[in-house]
Amino acid sequence: MFGVVLWSDTTAQKAVIWCEDQGDLAFYTPEECIHEAPPLDAGDLVQFDVTVTQNVRKASNPQLLMQSHSPDLPNKLKASRPEAAPEPAKAEPKPARNIIDLTKYLDAAIGVQGKIALPV
C-alpha cells in the first residue's frame, strides 16, 4: 500500500501513515519490520505492507519512495478540520465533509501501472 507519513518520532522509530485507500490510519513500529527501515518523517511518501491486528492497522517493511513529498499535508489536514461545535442533544450520524483525496498527492510520484516516476 502507498501512504504519506502524517507524524513520526525518529528517536522511537514510530510513525502514523495516511493510507491511499482512505481507510484507517496505519501505525508503524520497528518491531513490525523484517529489514532495517529508513527513518520516516512527516510528509514522506512510502510503500508498505499492511496487516490488521485487533482492529488496528499496522504498517511493516516501509520503503521510502520520496522524501518530503507532502511536507505540508499534516498542516493542511489540521486546517481543513471544521471548528468543534457543541454536540446536539440526540447524536445523529454526521455526513462526511472535507475529505481530501490522497491520490492527488500520489499522482506526482506514481507513474503508469503503479511504477514510481523518479525525477530525472
Indicate yes or no: pTM above 0.75: no
User: Cβ(17)–Cβ(25) under 8 Å?
Assistant: yes
User: Cβ(6)–Cβ(74) under 8 Å?
Assistant: yes
Average the pLDDT over each of 18-22, 58-62, 78-82 and give the range with the smallest value: 78-82
Give CA–CA dist 80/75, Å, rounded: 9
Main-chain phi, psi angles of 76, to 5 degrees: -65, -40
* 120 confidence band (pLDDT: 50, 70, 90): very low
Tell me: pLDDT of 43 over 60.
yes
Cell of 86: 457543541
User: For residue range 62-78, what is the model confidence (pLDDT) as tens digits?
Assistant: 999 988 777 777 677 77
Q: Of 25, 1, 24, 2, nearest to 14 (Cα)?
A: 25
Q: What mean pLDDT is reported for the chain? A: 77
Tell me: pLDDT of 30 over 50.
yes
Tell me: pLDDT of 98 over 90.
no
* 92 confidence band (pLDDT: 50, 70, 90): low
Tell me: pLDDT of 118 over 50.
no
Greater model confidence, 82 or 15:
15
